[in-house]
Amino acid sequence: MNTASTLAFRVAYQKQVFEIEMPVDETVLSLKNKINELTGIEPALQKLLYKGILKDESTLIESNLSNACKVVLMASSAKAILSIAAPAKPEPTAEATKNEKMSLFFEDIEHARVLKKGKPEFIIEKGISVGRSTLPSLGVIAANARGLKARLSFLDDSQEMQLATAERTQKISYTSIRKVQSEDMPAESAGEGYCALGIQIGPTEKSMLWFYWVPKQYVENIKDALGLYPVAQQLFNQIFNP
């Protein structure tokens, strides 16, 4: 009921209009608290306009509000305010992306099993993270997928890779190699300066042979020896054996 001691007015917010009746001696802050009950918008996030911005400490009558007047509410939800104030999420760095990729690679059961065994004692050559070294004539020592010692030798004269273990020695023609892939070994597993090296010797990835704890300084030269020859051979065949 509207009497001389009360005011009946409207508060407009976006497409909503609220009918409000309050004593004339209530403060603007009290009005904001009432609006909070109706809208869920905290008083601190509200701005009330009627012939200017209404001050929290002023009463409704001091703010010149009258019956049937319209007060405009300007406000944002707390969620919107926080989203604006929150710092933008930084783009992942190249190093972070690389670490995530490496983590996913070594979560694979096959690779995780080798990693769990730790660095074998027969890996005695120190891995170097930066730079390239000439491939040793006696071959590169690494661990195979079973964690056993393997020696990789690269025979340029016959264009073959020789793979020697305690069980057997086999030679693989460079021309049969389809893909060469490497992944850095995790530093926290004493893998700094070493790589896992995959060599695909058949048409599908099921034929991929993996070697671990390969000193990183040899990896690019191994890729050059194994990866570039098939391309050169294909070009040769296209030109001289059409």
Say whether domain 6-85 belongs to CATH 3.10.20.90. Answer: yes
Flag whether pLDDT at 118 surpasses 80: yes
Structure confidence at residue 2 (pLDDT): 45
All residues at 6 or more sequence positions from 174 whose CB lies less than 8 Å from its CB, including other chains: 159, 160, 161, 225, 226, 229, 230, 233
* Tens digits of residue pLDDT in 53-95: 999 999 999 999 999 999 999 876 555 555 545 555 666 666 6
11 forms beta bridges with 18, 71
Flag whether pLDDT at 51 surpasses 80: yes
Structure confidence at residue 91 (pLDDT): 67
What is each CA distance from 92 to 88, 106, 171, in whole angstroms? 12, 20, 43
- Calculate the average pLDDT of the chain: 84
Structure confidence at residue 230 (pLDDT): 46
* Tens digits of residue pLDDT in 19-28: 999 999 999 9
Structure tokens at 64: 């010149």
Higher pLDDT, 22 or 100: 22
**CA-based nearest residue to 28, from 5, 53, 4:** 53
What's the pLDDT band for 99 if we cut at 50, 70, 90?
Answer: low
Look up the CATH architecture of domain 94-240.
Roll (2.30)
In angstroms and rounded to an integer, the radius of gyration of the C-alpha atoms of the chain is: 37
Structure confidence at residue 224 (pLDDT): 85
Q: Where do the domains of the chain lie? A: 6-85, 94-240
Structure confidence at residue 14 (pLDDT): 87
Flag whether pLDDT at 195 surpasses 90: yes
* Tens digits of residue pLDDT in 173-193: 988 888 898 999 888 878 899
Flag whether pLDDT at 29 surpasses 90: yes
Supply the pTM of this predicted model.
0.54
Tell me the residue length of the chain.
242
Structure confidence at residue 7 (pLDDT): 93
As a whole number, mean pLDDT of residues 32-45 equals: 92
Higher pLDDT, 238 or 1: 238
Range from 4-8, 76-80, 111-115, 168-172 that averages highest in pLDDT: 168-172
